[in-house]
């Protein structure tokens, strides 16, 4: 009779950060691609929505390999800055770029947003790796939209049903420039023209989030100011202390977040702070409808 040798279970500990969002994941970097580990990571991601791997110091090759086993990687020519990282398919996030559109992308990160609202299927998850920790500033905040929506009064949730929101890059650009030019608007529209999403995103796992954030420019069928007042109120609610976690970066940190249920933002920092991040994104698996 043949006996089967079972592989030992790789040690991995998970420690919640706040009641609403986030968990620390602790394991040896050499084990992150080990048998069963990526599945355990995805299960934890869907539960805690933000996973922090402190000082993991994952090499780019393993960073890309982890991205590949977690899902299909989203490619974007907009983030290609000719760097060594970009040649590998990694978005290098730093303020030392010459391209105006890329700088707008990075500076726009200082506002709460959901990744991938330019697509009908926003990205499933984003992986952020800290290459150089900022000398000052540059934290990243995360807001749990699942929890924020669920905590709204029932009558408020009912009032949001059926509303649709127009998202575009120009909505972010107008926050960055006091007097944007026609060329700016053309540049933004070429990258991310207006796209409608439902305000309430009812997802297949039974949870609902909200498609809001800095890219939201209008509520369809409403006067602009009335629609923006609703969107601002929801943003203030969702980004309150009850639903958020703010991460202070250390070199080597890896953070993975569950994009369809989160807003995130970077806190301001200067180019002199030296902050350098590497980012990959997993393609989405569910349309907002």
Residue 4 has pLDDT above 50, yes or no: no
| Of 95, 111, 115, the residue nearest 103 (C-alpha) | 95
Could you state, in order of their start, the residue ranges of all structural domains in the chain? 13-282
> CA 242 to CA 278: how far, in whole Å?
29
128, 74, 197, 44: CA torsion to nearest 10: -50
Q: What is the pLDDT of residue 9?
A: 79
Instruction: List pLDDT tens digits, range 223-271.
Output: 999 999 999 999 999 999 999 999 999 999 999 999 999 999 999 999 9
CB-count burial class (<10 Å; 0-12, 13-18, 19+) for 128:
buried
Q: Are 114 and 263 contacting, i.e. CB atoms less than 8 angstroms apart?
A: yes
User: What is the rounded average pLDDT of the residues 119-134?
Assistant: 96
Going by pLDDT thresholds of 50, 70 and 90, the confidence category of residue 79 is low
Helix (H, G, I), strand (E, B) or coil at 74: coil
Residue 277 has pLDDT above 60, yes or no: yes
Which architecture, in CATH terms, is 13-282? 4-Layer Sandwich (3.60)
Query: What does pLDDT average to over the chain?
Result: 93
Helix (H, G, I), strand (E, B) or coil at 19: coil
Going by pLDDT thresholds of 50, 70 and 90, the confidence category of residue 108 is confident
């Amino acid at each position: 009779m043949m006996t089967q040798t079972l592989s030992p279970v790789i040690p991995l500990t998970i420690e919640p950060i706040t009641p609403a969002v986030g968990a620390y994941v602790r394991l040896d970097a050499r084990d992150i691609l080990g048998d069963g580990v990526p599945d355990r990571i995805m299960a934890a991601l869907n539960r805690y929505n933000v996973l922090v791997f402190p000082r993991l110091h994952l090499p780019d090759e393993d960073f890309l390999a982890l991205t590949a086993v977690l899902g299909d990687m989203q490619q974007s020519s907009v983030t290609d800055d000719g760097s060594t990282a970009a040649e590998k398919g990694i978005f290098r996030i730093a303020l030392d770029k010459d391209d105006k559109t890329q700088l707008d992308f990075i500076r726009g990160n200082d506002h709460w947003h959901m990744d991938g609202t330019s697509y009908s299927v926003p990205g499933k998850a984003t992986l952020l790796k800290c290459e150089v920790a900022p000398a000052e500033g540059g934290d990243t905040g995360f807001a749990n939209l699942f929890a924020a929506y669920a905590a709204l009064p029932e009558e408020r949730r009912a009032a949001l049903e059926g509303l649709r929101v127009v998202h575009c890059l120009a909505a972010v650009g107008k926050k960055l420039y006091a007097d944007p030019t026609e060329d700016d608007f053309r540049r933004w529209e070429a990258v991310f023209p207006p796209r409608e999403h439902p305000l309430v995103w009812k997802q297949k796992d039974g949870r609902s989030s909200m498609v809001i954030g800095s890219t939201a420019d209008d509520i369809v069928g409403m006067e602009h100011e009335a629609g923006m007042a609703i969107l601002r109120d929801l943003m203030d609610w969702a980004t309150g202390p009850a639903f958020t976690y703010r991460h202070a970066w250390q070199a080597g940190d890896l953070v993975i977040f569950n994009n369809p249920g989160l807003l995130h933002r970077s806190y301001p920092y200067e180019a002199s702070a030296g902050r350098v991040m590497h980012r990959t994104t997993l393609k989405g698996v569910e349309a907002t409808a």
